[in-house]
Structure formats: structure tokens, C-alpha cells
Amino acid sequence: MQSAGQSLRGMRENLGLTMRDVENASSRIADRHRNEEYAIPPSRLSDIETKGIVPSIYRIYTLSVIYRQDMRNILALYGVDFNQSAADLSLSQPPKSHISSVFQSVSAVQVPVKLDPGFDLRRTANLGRMVEKWGLMPLSYLGALSKDEYTYGYIGSEDFTMYPLLHPGTFIQVDESRNRVVEGAWRSEYERPIYFVETREGHACCWCSLKRDSIVLQPHPLSPVPPRVLKHPQEAEVIGQVVGIAMRLAEWHHSETYAEPKARTALN
């Protein structure tokens, strides 16, 4: 694998430029900006190419202009990948609401480009297990999908368990570190944790509560889906807590099967 310096040397040689050519061009850039920091003498360029010296931000700009490269490509040679900025956003949480321009620097992110042929849009599933191949796509907001501590699920088009809070067809982000059911007195349905659960029949996205050696899979009160009581963890395993969603608010419709809520008896 080439070093950053070797890659820069390759860019220069592919353009037929000598070190003296780079020096002369960099001097003109420095004169234009009235800042000598942009200039790159041959001795410094040699150090950058052969001794692992990291150029300053001014010289990175100069090299990107002379070598006809996007500045992000030069920075990526030194391990600074702007395509990771979307995934790193959660590491800083400013207290005030704001407009963010960080995504303008993102050019590509990893997204699933090939799914398992067995992926059935009608059923709730663990999306991470259904992806056979990842690829690069210029969709900046999907950068968070590369986080290792999260898994991603899909609420089936016929799964009304958490309707109307979560619509069928919703993609969910699941924090696997939060796989213990939390009990409490919730002030609203928005505060109560929603869990992604794997059962013998498939997956479920629902509220949960524990009763001795059983787990109650509790749907939304307005949902037509009845509650289920399963042995825990033999028949139902909590994968994690839902911490993010991507939900369309249009272009979907009720399944005829669940057009009207069904009456059911509340659990004791």
C-alpha cells in the first residue's frame, strides 16, 4: 500500500510536473493570497513525498490546486475522511438547535446495494442480516448506518404493531447495548422505550414488560395487533432499544387485513 507521500508523488508525475514546476506554481498562489504559507520549496516537497512529513493546511490547498484534486482527496491520504463526518456527528451534542452544513462536505456513504433474495417487505426483519453487499452512494444522511454499535431493522408493510406511532415500512436504528427491558411510569407513549425483539416466528418492534420468566410484547393501544406473552429468553430475545427511525408520512395505505382495529382483552 502506498504512503500518502508516494501517492502525492504519483499525482505529480502523472501530470508531468517537476518539483521546480510545483515550486513556481505554489509561489504564484502564495503571491495571489499574499501568504507565504502556500509556497512549497523543493526541499519541503521532497520531505512530504519521501519522509512522511504532513503538509500544512495551506500547502494541502496548494497541492490540491496544482494536482487538480479535490482537497478532500488529499486529506483522505492522511486518514481524514470527510465521508465519516455524518457518522461522527453524535459524538458532539450542542445544547442549542442549529442549522448544520457538515453534510455538504460528504460525497459518499456506505449503503446496502444488494439484499438477500429472501428479504420480504411484508415482514419485520433485521436489516443487518439481509444486506449481502455494501457500496458507496452520495446520500449523506445515511452515513450513520456505518456505526458498528447499531443494527437496523425494518417494520414490515403488514406489521401494525406500533401503529400509529410507527407506521408500517419504517426503518429503525437499534442500540444493541440497551437490550434490557426498562420498567417505569412513563408520562407519555413517546417516553416509553420501544424494543426490537427476535422471536421464533420472526421479529417484532414493540413495547416490552417482564413478568417472572416471561416477556410481554405490548403493541400500541390503537393497533389491531394483540399482545403476546412469550418465554424469555427462550422464545423471545431483546436485540436492543429503538433510538432512531426513518418513517415516511405519505405514500402508504392500510392493509385490508388490518383495516379496522380488533377488540382484545387487556392483560391482567
Q: What is the CATH number of the domain that holds 243?
A: 2.10.109.10
Residue 123 lies in a domain: no
Please determine, for residue 59, whether its predicted confidence score (pLDDT) is greater than 60. yes
pLDDT at site 97: 45
193 phi and psi, to 5 degrees?
Answer: -65, 140
pLDDT at site 16: 95
Q: In what order do the strands lie in the sheet with 202-211?
A: 125-126, 150-154, 171-175, 236-246, 195-199, 202-211, 214-218, 228-231
Its domain, for residue 32, covers 4-81
Residue 199 lies in a domain: yes
pLDDT at site 216: 97
Least confident of 66-70, 137-141, 166-170, 246-250: 137-141
- Per-residue pLDDT averaged across 66-84, rounded? 91
Q: Pick from 86-95, 124-133, 237-246 the range whose average pLDDT is largest.
A: 237-246
Tell which of 81, 110, 128 closes a domain. Answer: 81
pLDDT at site 92: 73
Residues 153 and 77 in one domain: no
The cell for 10 is: 504519483
